Amino acid sequence: MTDMALTITNLWVRDRQGNALVKGVSLAVPRNGVLTLIGETGSGKSLIAQAVFGLLSPELAASGTITIAGHRPIEAGNPRALARLWREQIMLIPQEPSLALDPTMKVRRQMALAGLADAAINPALSAFDLPASTGQSFPFALSGGMAQRVLIATALGVGAPVIIADEPTKGLDTDRVTQTIDALRQLAGAGRTLLVITHERRVAEELPGELAIIRDGAIIERGESVHILEAPESDYARIWLDADPRHWPRCHRCCDMERLTLSAHGLSFGWPQQPPLFENLDLHLPKGGVLAVSGPSGSGKSTLGDILLGLRRPRMGSVEWGGIDIVASSAAIRPLRQRYQKLHQDPIKAFLPHLALMRQFKALEAVKPGLSVARDLPPLLDRLRVKPSLLNRLPGEISGGEAQRLALARILLLDPFAIIADEPTSRLDPVVQRETMLLLRELVDENGLGLVLISHDLALLRSLADETIDLSDHRPRSPAQLKGATASTTLS
């Protein structure tokens, strides 16, 4: 234990009512080593980082000791003593990078205030793929990933031997996650001791060193990363790690290409006075087929969904609902309106906030002739594994997973031909996400629906979809490049 750079011993965090949120956690990170702490939302993993820095909210009380190599152990309940370690011994890469930067000050000056020498700032920025102009920018001009790397560069620059990164990949696109993980590896390469707190399996996989899994405030498993990821010992760790989309059972089905429920030809779209987001896009969705649409944020994924739903007009091209062009004649939409539905990103917001769910379902009878909610809903809820008693509540009183299944029930009551699901599980925990997604796929199979799945999560799309369209392949390019580009990439 002598060569441990950071040791946390028997750390407890309790709220005012005395409920333990972190239950006797002991962790040690070896000098120049990396420890990844992984756990789901609410497992108490971020509280550990806050406790080490003495930054817990005043409502929470901590006990236990924090030891930095070469210093006497410090009581976790003594934030003043812990504050003396800041910058000299430990440094934080915080969860919300944009909130950590003063919005009214240029990045360069903020790095200088952290003690980086003027000449060191540009090299520090370029070491993390940031142009020198970043220094002259105000924080609001930076993307989330850039702000994150500014903070990583600052953390390296101040020279503290121990660095704690709290959810460094939260809210970042897939390729930005890669960039952040690279930057963290660079920190480890520069001889820093690293404690990384995350909920993403990918981070654990791509960082060297040790892994600890936390659940309900207690460490349930720890050891070499590679070993745990290969063969987790506890059941929870296995279920939870399997919730990663790349470990779902793969889908290989044959689709009925003869009976297209939704198709589009030569679609292009752009905001007024701006270059097109995508051009010349073709897509075909057969009954029982799953078509995935991916692309970085801002590439027009959701807009494409709206175009397919007839909510927005494309610049060019056609959208066909069962062979009827809805762009050419908007009158064609009306009789088919209810048959093309959308599953929203935030399921709770898809319901009226101040009206009991049952009444919202009842109201559907007014727009769907022949529908009897009393007759048709109970079997559906049974199939979706939702307790009927939930319907007496307000949308704010149920969980995200429950709300998404109820939203699905509402859509299924309308006998849809196709469902456009726009990031339907991005706000759900991994285990719930897996459950919801597999259910969605079963329903597609059972009812012969078409499903368009929009997501930035490539792993999720690959595990579910028959075909994937990457919108970044449809960005306008020079004519020469355009010739070589394929219209869509078929995965199998």
Per CB under 8 A, 421 contacts another protein:
no
Which string of x and - marks every residue 168-207 that binds another protein (by CB under 8 A)? ----------------------------------------
Give the one residue of 4, 67, 86, 476 binding another protein; rule: CB under 8 A: 86
Give the one residue of 130, 407, 421, 464 binding another protein; rule: CB under 8 A: 407
For residue 59, which amino acid is it? E
Give the one residue of 15, 224, 397, 442 binding another protein; rule: CB under 8 A: 397
By three-state DSSP, how is residue 217 classified? coil
By three-state DSSP, how is residue 479 classified? helix
Comparing CB distances to another protein, the nearer of 104 and 492 is 104
Per CB under 8 A, 81 contacts another protein:
no
The CB-of-372 to another protein minimum distance in angstroms stands at 16
Over the range 383-405, which residues count as b (16 or more CB within 10 Å of their CB) and which as e? bbebeeebbeeebeebebbbbbb
Separation between Cα atoms, residue 150 and residue 129, nearest integer Å: 10
Closest by CA to 164, choosing from 187, 196, 188, 202, is 196
The CB-of-351 to another protein minimum distance in angstroms stands at 5
Comparing CB distances to another protein, the nearer of 84 and 477 is 84
At 52, give phi and psi (nearest 5°).
-65, -35
> Burial, 253: exposed, middle or buried (Cβ in 10 Å; 0-12, 13-18, 19+)?
exposed
By three-state DSSP, how is residue 65 classified? strand
Instruction: List binders of another protein among 108-127 (CB under 8 A).
Output: 113-115
Comparing CB distances to another protein, the nearer of 216 and 415 is 415
- Those residues with Cβ within 8 angstroms of residue 102's Cβ, 6 or more apart along the chain or in another chain: 110, 139
Per CB under 8 A, 356 contacts another protein:
yes
Per CB under 8 A, 103 contacts another protein:
yes
Comparing CB distances to another protein, the nearer of 336 and 381 is 336
Cα–Cα separations (whole angstroms), residue 208 to 126, 189, 224:
24, 11, 9
Per CB under 8 A, 271 contacts another protein:
no
Per CB under 8 A, 446 contacts another protein:
no
Per CB under 8 A, 101 contacts another protein:
yes
Give the one residue of 36, 46, 134, 154 binding another protein; rule: CB under 8 A: 154
Give the one residue of 105, 328, 487, 491 binding another protein; rule: CB under 8 A: 105
Per CB under 8 A, 381 contacts another protein:
no
H helix runs in 94-195, sequence order: 97-100, 107-113, 118-127, 144-158, 174-189
CB-CB neighbours of 168 under 10 Å: 24
Separation between Cα atoms, residue 358 and residue 366, nearest integer Å: 14
Comparing CB distances to another protein, the nearer of 4 and 100 is 100
211, 225 Cβ separation under 8 angstroms: yes
300, 454 Cβ separation under 8 angstroms: no
Give the one residue of 179, 294, 341, 436 binding another protein; rule: CB under 8 A: 341
Give the one residue of 36, 46, 198, 345 binding another protein; rule: CB under 8 A: 345
Per CB under 8 A, 309 contacts another protein:
yes
Separation between Cα atoms, residue 452 and residue 284, nearest integer Å: 10
Per CB under 8 A, 100 contacts another protein:
yes
Per CB under 8 A, 353 contacts another protein:
yes
In the DSSP assignment, the letter for residue 197 is E
Comparing CB distances to another protein, the nearer of 132 and 352 is 352
Judged by CB under 8 A, the number of residues near another protein is: 56
Q: Select the span of 93-101, 277-285, 295-303, 448-456 touching another protein (CB under 8 A).
A: 93-101
Per CB under 8 A, 75 contacts another protein:
no
Place of tokens 């009183």: 397
Query: What are all long-range contacts of 248-255, with beta carbons under 8 Å and residues at least 24 apart?
Result: 248/434, 248/437, 248/438, 248/463, 248/464, 249/463, 250/463, 251/290, 251/441, 251/463, 251/464, 251/465, 251/466, 252/492, 253/288, 253/445, 253/466, 255/286, 255/287, 255/288, 255/289, 255/466
Per CB under 8 A, 354 contacts another protein:
yes
Per CB under 8 A, 104 contacts another protein:
yes
The CB-of-335 to another protein minimum distance in angstroms stands at 10
CB-CB neighbours of 468 under 10 Å: 20
Per CB under 8 A, 349 contacts another protein:
yes
Per CB under 8 A, 53 contacts another protein:
yes
Question: Within its chain, how far is the Cα of 233 from the centroid?
Answer: 26
What sign does the dihedral 186-188-191-193 (CA atoms) show? positive
Comparing CB distances to another protein, the nearer of 101 and 125 is 101
Comparing CB distances to another protein, the nearer of 115 and 298 is 115
Which residues of the chain form contacts with another protein (CB under 8 A)?
Answer: 53, 55, 83, 86-88, 91-92, 94, 96, 99-105, 113-115, 138, 140-141, 154, 158, 309, 311, 337-338, 340-342, 344-347, 349-356, 359, 363-364, 366-368, 394, 396-397, 407, 410, 414
